[in-house]
Structure 1
Amino acid sequence: MQIQDCRAIVTGGASGLGEATVRNIVGNGGKAVIFDQSEENGLHLQEELGEAVLFLKTDVTKEEDIQRTVSKAADFMGAVNAVVNCAGIGIAEKVLGRNGTHNLSLFSRVINVNLVGTFNVIRLAAEKMITNEVNDKNERGVIINTASVAAFDGQIGQAAYSASKGGIVGMTLPIARELARYGIRVMTIAPGLFHTPMFDTLPQEARDSLGKMVPFPPRLGYPAEYAQLVQSIIENPMLNGETIRLDGAIRMQPK
């Protein structure tokens, strides 16, 4: 699939890695529908990028929301042949902290948004994708999920986040194997330290210090570099059923 032929749903597409992905797809001639909770950011991006973009306020954890918005996305673009799952949340809480044990409802919420939400979008988008005509490479679509290096190098306080991202890694291959018969590929990207809005709350000195933890290049990753890998996955039909670390060779320490 070529990037200009992309008709993509991007969850979490109103900011950070998702926004960079939307900008790259549209900048190369494709179309994108943003699934996000932030109306302000989503509508601003829709207005800026024009008629190739549609924003739909969406909760990825709700079945009825995704059923509705996937159908609207297909109507807007004429088809859905790509999904990039960037929606997610993160927390830091110890199993045994100063104020007691890890909050169970908070643990469940992280799993629900990051893992269950990703799966919810995969299953309902795949249902739409199988109706596509195959292209010249016998493809009907590609699904790209976002995990994290925390899936492999989880730090103290990341039990919930690491579990959710590890689940995304774990379901990549079985779903890729299942959807292969339909010509739908499934890949996952595991980013390291990237300059997303979460880091904007930190002073520049702290951001520079975190960046220096990366062997090379010794800086935070740029969202555009994530979007560049998304494009490579979209355009390379042999990339399937695998998780790619995008991390500058960093390996996170316990804390």
Structure 2
Amino acid sequence: MKVENTAAIVTGAASGLGAATAAHLASRGARVFGLDLNTDNAPAVEGVSYIATDVTDEQQVRAAVAKAAASGPLRVVVNCAGIGPSARILGRKGVHDLGLYTKVIQVNLIGTFTVLALAAEEIAGTEPLEFGQRGVIVNTASVAAFEGQVGQAAYASSKGGVVGLTVPAARDLAQYGIRVNTVAPGIVDTPMLQTVSEEFRGALAAGIPFPQRLCRPDEYAQLVGMIIDHDYLNGETIRMDGALRMAPR
């Protein structure tokens, strides 16, 4: 599916995977609307407009979707917004904070579903393309969905939910010509990792079978572009991890 002269929504667009994806789609001629909780430090990219949005707030998401669709047609949605705090179920300070667990699920899973559902409603009203195609939604999970490590109970649960959402969402939305796929990245060199030491980064890279380096955000964006282009790819979760299988710690 071509994205030139269409509208696209990317959540978590102020940094990391979202920023790279927004820039990639804009370079292909899409009018990109980047959603993020805080857009103050978002990179200035031609073709990308930012909307401060809490993905867990239905009304804010509805407003952002409507704004994107007004420049329409809305064809692409990429969910990158997420958080990843670490806490053990039983730790030195006691039981896992239940409020923290709830928040991770709300942002990573419910936020993804909220954007997916409200955007799908808008996409379903667009003119169909060849074979009835109207749009594509790409969600972001993680290898933690399959091999969650110690301290990742909340994060792994939320990303496992995104993986579990993929096939039923693709089936639900098939009648409207909307494809749904998920990317499950491994260790990506995001701004969060840039705060740790080179020694620690090197140790992370050494654990990846091949290539032995951290994934770049632009490689995630490239994969999203391939998913958009490949009209027969639907209901799939794609690992992007250099054959990494996470150890318990």
TM-score relative to the length of structure 2: 0.97
**Structure 1 match to 2:58:** 63
**Structure 2 match to 1:16:** 16
Q: Which amino acid aligns with 1:60?
A: V
Is 2:99 aligned against 1:73?
no
**Structure 2 match to 1:29:** 29
Instruction: Report SS of the residue matched to 2:127.
Output: coil
Kept in 1: contact 2:23–2:48 (CA 8 A): no
**Structure 2 match to 1:38:** 38
**Structure 1 match to 2:129:** 135
Is 2:144 aligned against 1:150?
yes
Q: Which amino acid aligns with 1:28?
A: R
Residue of 144, 155, 159 corresponding to 1:165: 159
Q: Which amino acid aligns with 1:22?
A: A
Larger helix fraction of residues: 1
Q: Distance in 1 between matches of 2:159 and 2:98?
A: 17
Identity %: 52
Residue of 181, 200, 215 corresponding to 1:221: 215
**Structure 1 match to 2:227:** 233
Q: Distance in 2 between matches of 1:5 and 1:221?
A: 30
**Structure 2 match to 1:7:** 7
TM-score relative to the length of structure 1: 0.95
Kept in 1: contact 2:6–2:72 (CA 8 A): no
Uncovered stretches (5+) of structure 2, i.e. residues with no partner = none
Q: Which amino acid aligns with 1:70?
A: V
Is 2:117 aligned against 1:112?
no
Q: Distance in 2 between matches of 1:202 and 1:24?
A: 27
Give per-residue Cα distances to partners, 1:32-79, cap 9 Å, x unaligned: 10000122123xx3xx323x221000000001111111101112x322
Kept in 1: contact 2:138–2:224 (CA 8 A): yes
Q: Distance in 1 between matches of 2:220 and 2:101?
A: 27
Q: Distance in 1 between matches of 2:176 and 2:225?
A: 21
Instruction: Report SS of the residue matched to 2:192.
Output: helix
Residue 81 (structure 1) shift = 0.7
Q: Distance in 2 between matches of 1:61 and 1:87?
A: 10
Kept in 2: contact 1:137–1:237 (CA 8 A): no
Kept in 2: contact 1:6–1:25 (CA 8 A): no
Residue 205 (structure 1) shift = 1.6
Q: How many positions carry a matched residue from both structures? A: 249
Kept in 2: contact 1:187–1:242 (CA 8 A): yes
Q: Distance in 2 between matches of 1:4 and 1:73?
A: 14
1:191-210 to 2 correspondence within 5 Å?
A: 191-210=185-204
Higher mean displacement: 33-42 or 82-91: 33-42
Give per-residue Cα distances to partners, 1:150-190, cap 9 Å, x unaligned: 00000011000000000000011001001001100000000
Give per-residue Cα distances to partners, 1:203-242, cap 9 Å, x unaligned: 1121121111110100100001000100000000111001
